[in-house]
Chain A
Amino acid sequence: EDQVTQSPEALRLQEGESSSLNCSYTVSGLRGLFWYRQDPGKGPEFLFTLYSAGEEKEKERLKATLTKKESFLHITAPKPEDSATYLCAVHETGGGADGLTFGKGTHLIIQP
């Protein structure tokens, strides 16, 4: 069972059409939740870190929110340059590996 599930897998929007990407997680204790953007053939680019339920972070057209079970990445009035794969990752307290567990990502396409 995946600990981090992102939906939808793919999303196609018109320029200016706002929407939200979902990241649900099932870890026993959350140390942090991270959002990344990845362009084809490149390394993930760090966007946000969220640490506790109720927290929100914003950057340009992107806004990330966090609850106890999931996080949303809201995209307001997107532009074609926002097209990318958006990855969510969680950092779990305790356990063995002290690393990030990634979801499989949402492939976002913004059409002009």
Chain B
Amino acid sequence: EAQVTQNPRYLITVTGKKLTVTCSQNMNHEYMSWYRQDPGLGLRQIYYSMNVEVTDKGDVPEGYKVSRKEKRNFPLILESPSPNQTSLYFCASSLGGAGQYFGPGTRLTVT
């Protein structure tokens, strides 16, 4: 089954404790992206990757890091999480400019 998976699905952590949210897709897509979704603000892009070893900033990259060492994986790293990073995070993948397939989401709470 073609899918995008994210782990963990739910995470509660404390300020400053480094964390990684994993994302994996099995569709051989070149393009992968991370979004956060907040009430009243909609979906906003954090980082994206056009292919292996190629990443670039989206609209809200501050406080986040990404890496793309393999085509199927695109982890999101929060080196020092803060409460304003409490949000619902989505990973997505696609073939270039085609419609993106989204993962199920990771709900992160930073206290």
Contacts and interface: CB of A to CB of B under 8 A. Distances in A.
Contacts, number: 62
B50 interface: yes
Interface in A31-46: 31-32, 34, 36, 41-46
Interface residues on B, range: 20 to 34
Contact of A99 (B42, B48, B90): B48
Contact of A98 (B56, B92, B102): B56
Given A32-B97, A34-B99, A34-B100, A98 B48 contact: yes
Main secondary structure of the interface of A (DSSP, over half): strand
Q: Could you say which of B44, B48, B100, B105 has the most chain A C-beta atoms within 10 Å of its C-beta?
A: B100
Interface of B: 4, 33, 35, 40-45, 48, 50, 56-59, 90, 92, 97-105
Interface string A89-105: 10100001111111111
A102 B42 CA distance: 7
Nearest to B46: A99
Interface residues on A, range: 20 to 34
Nearest to B98: A49
Nearest to A4: B42
Interface of A: 31-32, 34, 36, 41-46, 48-49, 87, 89, 91, 96-105
The list of the 3 closest CB pairs from A to B, nearest first, reads A43-B102, A46-B99, A102-B43
